[in-house]
Amino acid sequence: MFPTILFAVDSSLEARQAVPIVVGLVKTFHSRLLLLSVVDPEEDEREKVEQLLENARQLFEAEGIAAETKVGEGKPAFVICDVADELNCDLIIMGTRGVTETSESVSQRVITLSPCPVLVVP
């Protein structure tokens, strides 16, 4: 049902709370898992984000799940939807409140723009 799942990773509590749900869905549907985190190209956070993704990858590996990682640059909602579209993802999973500098709801924007279903975890 969900051959490819994209999990939008950031350092928020909501993203951490989504991990067991991601694990369950990936194992149930034998899905390919892509971990995506987005950085603002104007900020020097790429190294921090790469470490966050590596930690997440290791967490899933400990659960017996191989995960690919990708760092995107730009506005999070647009990058998440673009990557999901480019890679023909079947489901996007993300937390309700990500870590962002603006008051814009990234999850709401992703729901509006997404080329596939979106599971938002509170």
Residue-wise pLDDT tens digits, 45-103: 899 999 999 999 999 999 999 999 999 999 999 999 999 999 999 999 999 865 555 55
Is the Cβ–Cβ distance between 119 and 92 less than 8 Å? yes
pLDDT on residue 122: 86
Write out the residue range of the structural domain in which residue 71 sits: 4-121
Q: How confident is the model at residue 41 (pLDDT cuts 50, 70, 90)?
A: confident
Higher-pLDDT residue of 112 and 122 is: 112
Distance CA 89, CA 65 (A): 17
The domain spanning residue 37 has which CATH number? 3.40.50.620
pLDDT on residue 104: 67
Distance CA 44, CA 27 (A): 35
Q: How confident is the model at residue 43 (pLDDT cuts 50, 70, 90)?
A: confident
CA angle 104, 80, 93 (to 5 degrees): 90
Distance CA 63, CA 118 (A): 23
* Count of domains forming the chain: 1
For residues 2-31, give the mean pLDDT. 96
Residue with tokens 């975890």: 121
pLDDT-above-90 percentage for the chain: 82
